[in-house]
Structure 1
Amino acid sequence: MRKFMVVTIPIITLVIFVLIMFGVNFLKNPLGKDDNIPLIIERMEHNVSNERWQEVGEQREELANAWKKVVRRIQFSSERDELNAFRINLARLKGAILAEDKSNALMELKEAHEHWESLGR
């Protein structure tokens, strides 16, 4: 029994860690209505194009909250640089929204979407 436990516990632990490390594509999918990052980005792009800055500001907060939820799930299976790049995009997006700068806001949204798509590759 002791030999079985000595062999089984490390193997099960390694399998769990491997599943977490390779599970980023599953873990970044939305688990609820409030963590669908691609949908929020798409809505923000539409509102920036129509220059609805009040709605864009609210959606930026929604995006930041969604990111906080998702990053907890994917932090162990993604590279830190990718996670930091998305976080920096959110910060620059906030500045573009405050300045009501349509071109920079769209540029940051497209870059954030690209970072989102590249997570887990």
Structure 2
Amino acid sequence: MRKFLVISIPIITLVFFILIMLSGNILKKPIGNDDNIPESIQMLIQDIESENWENADIKTNDLSASWKKIVKRVQFSSERDEINQFDICISHLRGAIMARDKSSSLIALNEAYEHWNDLGK
């Protein structure tokens, strides 16, 4: 019995950690209505292209809140650099919206979308 426990406990632990580290693509999928990052980015792109800056500012806050929910789920299965880069993109987006700079806003959103796609790979 002791030999079985000595062998099985490390194997079970390793399998558990491997499953956690490979679960990034599953955990980043939306669970509710308020944590769909790709949809939020698409809606922001539409608002920025139509230069609806007030609505874009509100949706940026919604995107940030959604990201804070998702980052808690994917923090163990994603690279820390990708998580930090997504945070930086949201900060750049806030500044570009405050400046009402259409091109910088779209650049920040596309960069954020690329970081989102790379998250969990």
TM-score (norm 2): 0.94
Aligned to 1:72: 72
Instruction: Report the aligned-residue RMSD.
Output: 1.1
Q: How does 1:1-121 map to 2 (within 5 A)?
A: 1-121=1-121
Give 2:70's aligned amino acid: V
- Structure 1 gap segments, 5+ residues each: none
Deviation of the 1:70 alpha carbon: 0.8
Per the alignment, in what secondary structure is the counterpart of residue 77 of structure 1?
coil
Deviation of the 1:24 alpha carbon: 0.7
Aligned length: 121
Separation in 1, partners of 2:44, 2:72: 23
Per the alignment, in what secondary structure is the counterpart of residue 32 of structure 1?
coil
Q: 4+ residue stretches of structure 1 with deviation over 6 A?
A: none
Deviation of the 1:58 alpha carbon: 0.7
Give 1:46's aligned amino acid: Q
1:9-33: CA deviations, max 9, x gaps?
A: 2222111110011111111111111
- Structure 2 gap segments, 5+ residues each: none
Separation in 2, partners of 1:3, 1:73: 35
Among the aligned pairs, what percent are the same residue? 52
Per the alignment, in what secondary structure is the counterpart of residue 51 of structure 2?
coil
Per the alignment, in what secondary structure is the counterpart of residue 78 of structure 2?
coil
Deviation of the 1:120 alpha carbon: 2.2
